[in-house]
Structures are given as C-alpha cells and as structure tokens.
Amino acid sequence: MLLTLGITSITKKALNIIPAPWTVSAIQMIVGMFVFVPLWVLKLRAAPKLSTENVKTLMPIAAMHTLGHVSGVISLGAGAVSFTHIVKAAEPLFTALFSAVLLNQFFAWQVYTTLLPVIVGVGLASLKELTCSWTSFGGAMTSNIACALRGVFAKQSMGKPQGENMNASNLYSVLTILACLFLTPVALLIEATKLSSAWNSAIATGIEANTIILWTILSGFFYYTYNEVAFLALDSVHPITHAVGNTIKRVVIIITSMVVFKTKMTPLGALGSTIAILGVLAYSLAKNAFDKPKK
C-alpha cells in the first residue's frame, strides 16, 4: 500500500512539472530493469530461459501490460489521482466481460449482481466530479480494458510451456523488458520534440533538475517494486485477503491524494466513489464465495 502511494504521488508530481506521460511511463519501465537485471547478473535470482515461441506467447500479455500502464499514467497527468482511481475501480467489469466473450467463462449470477454498484458508483463520481476530464476518464478506462485483457491473455497462455525459471517475479521482469521495447520508441516518436521545452519550463519555475530526475526515478522504482510484490502476494495469500487489501488500497490512495494535492470532491462524487469501492469489494468476495467460472 505504501508503495502504491509512492507511485501515485511521485508520478503525479513529476507529471505536473513535465507533462510528458509517454516519456515518464517509458522511464518507469526502464528503471525497473535496474532492479532485476543486477539480480540475474549476480546470480541472486535465477535468470529465465525462454525460447522464441515462449516470447511470442508472452507478447499479447506484454502489449496489454504496456497499454494499461501508459494509459493509467496519461489519466494521472490529465486529472486528479482520486478521480483516476475511482474510474479504475471499474476494472472487474471488463474482466467479467472479456472472460465471458474470449474465454467463454461465466460466473454465478450473484457475482454479476455486484457489478451494478460499481457501474453506478463510477457513473455518479464522473457525472459531477470537479476534477473530471475526458482525457483522464478515457485514460483510466483504457487502462481498465488493457489490464483486464492482460489477465485474460495470461489465462489463455496458462498450460503452455513458458521456459525455465519463470516464477512470478521473473514473469513480471520479462513483461517489463518487452514493455520497454514496445513503449520507448513510441514515447520518443510522440514526445521527443516536446521534452526540451517542457524541461526548460520546469526549470524556469525554480525546481532543480535533480529533483525532477529523482522523482521520475523513484516513481519507476516504486512502480516495479509494487507490481512484483503484488504478483508474489497473489500467489501467497488467500483471494479474500488480496481483495480486501486491494480495496483498502484504493480508499487510502483516494483520501491521501486529496490531502496531498488538495483536490476537492463533490458530495455526489464522494457518494459515487464509496459505492464503486464497496461494489469492487463485494465483487471480489462474491467471486470467491460462489462457484468458479463455468464454460
């Protein structure tokens, strides 16, 4: 939870100064490589061994991982942290939809019922929210779709050989490498010509260059560390524990971001965010309590 707070707050600060979400996203991915590559080189962690076919299998997952990350950062840059996380609470809706359409898997009706408050809550929060912007909303929704597809593609790849030493940590490390290859050229193509003026504008406000660099690097470190820990946690704890922790995480992020960045929320927005968060918790608990997906 503390790592997530670090990611969102520092990323938001960096984007407020350097409005280049594609570049910030790429740097965050690149910084992650400085975490796990030394572990492989020093043999503190067994390096994965993948064939060309293994890499091809992981490509769709990595593509959705990349899109989910950069669209989430775009949403953070265009709006308030609190609003982004309210909209991202709707991710289970897309997971249920794509599981049915692409995997032909259907849950018990009680599970689908819990998605209604999520839809209503996000709708209410977006309707009159002071910090709402279409770019922020679109980025968060795109992130929802991409992250849901990432989960579905990962499910489809299960059972296929994934090489050697492909535990949860190394799986995320390989996805990070592929995401760097996908994202870096696109970021340079879109924002390379804007970086110089954005940097000069930031320096002109009195902020030191070292501070900007430090925030960007720290956000990348927190981003990679949090996601690797999340992969490990999902393997190690009960689904109910993970669901409760994930829901509490969003509540803490929304409240903390409002305090740190002094963003205001309308009464309707507060009601909507509460309904959406409770709906996500109910969805996770219901999915665990009732029968598994049926084909």
Q: Report the interhelical angle of 21-41 vs 2-17 (nearest 10°).
A: 130
Residues 6+ apart with CB under 8 A from 39: 45
Question: Would you call 164 helix, strand, or coil by DSSP?
Answer: strand
Q: Tell me the C-alpha distance between 81 and 85, whole Å.
A: 6
Got the DSSP string for 168-198?
A: HHHHHHHHHHHHHHHHHHHHHHHHHHHHHHH
Give 83's pLDDT tier (boundaries 50, 70, 90). confident
Alpha helices by DSSP H, listed for 158-266, are 168-204, 209-236, 239-260
pLDDT in tens, 215-251: 888 888 888 887 787 666 655 544 444 444 555 566 6
pLDDT, one tens digit per residue, over 7-16 is 566 787 778 8
| 37: Cβ contacts below 8 Å, ≥ 6 apart | none
Global pTM value: 0.80
* b/e map 195-223, b = 16+ CB within 10 Å: eeeeeeebeeeeeeeeebeebbbbbbbbb
Return mean pLDDT, the chain: 79
Cα–Cα distance for residue pair 33/221, rounded to 1 Å: 9
**Beta carbons of 240 and 283 less than 8 angstroms apart:** no
186 burial (CB, 10 Å; 0-12 / 13-18 / 19+) is middle
Q: What is the pLDDT of residues 134-185, one digit of tens each?
A: 888 899 899 989 988 887 887 777 656 678 888 878 888 999 999 999 999 9
H/E element holding 89?
A: none
Q: What does the pLDDT look like over 22-45, one tens digit per residue?
A: 998 999 899 999 999 999 999 999
